[in-house]
Amino acid sequence: MNLKQALIDNDSIQLGLTAKDWKEAVKLSVQPLIDSGAVKPEYYDAIIESTEHYGPYYILTPGMAMPHARPEAGVIRDAFSLIILKEPVKFSDGKEVSILLTLAATSSKIHNSIAIPQIVALFDLKDAIRRLNDCQTKDEVLSIIEETKDSPYLEGIKF
């Protein structure tokens, strides 16, 4: 599962969205995956339940979260969605997030060996959060993602 291609295939990049709270932000980030048939609607419920039980463990870096749940919680096929909010939302731990890169993985192998390295490569780019927040078009987002193609984090990964 290639991040850039998955976002294109699922038409799952959305910019300039508004959410009143973290739950609405997560809903906005899961909806494109529901609409594209990558996950069942209960996938959203599983993310919310997990967050309420364990806290927002998927905030990976200041300003960015990777909401996800277990494969058996409604994942049909591997996919990503990416939303960028106009204003950040605050999670229960007080951290603010404006970028949600939601992952649907059919296995822990996909999650750990393919998805995570691509996300690390993206957010390892200089000023990645600021640059993504400044994007006005989907093509600008895809262009930033394209910059990761030579990342050492992606060495040996077969897409």
Pull the structure tokens for residue 31: 């909806």
119 to each of 42, 56, 86, how far by Cα in Å? 24, 17, 21
Which backbone phi and psi does 12 adopt, to 5 degrees?
-120, 30
Beta strands in the chain (DSSP E): 13-17, 59-61, 63-65, 79-90, 96-104
CA distance 126 to 105: 27
To the query of whether residue 68 is one of the catalytic residues in this protein, the response is yes
Which of 30, 8, 11 has its CA nearest to residue 19?
30
Which position among 29, 39, 68, 135 bears the catalytic label? 68
Residue by residue, DSSP assigns 65-91 as E-----GGGTB-S-EEEEEEEEEEEE-
Helix, strand counts (H, E) of the chain: 7, 5
Pull the structure tokens for residue 57: 């463990």
Instruction: Give catalytic residues, as residue numbers.
Output: 68
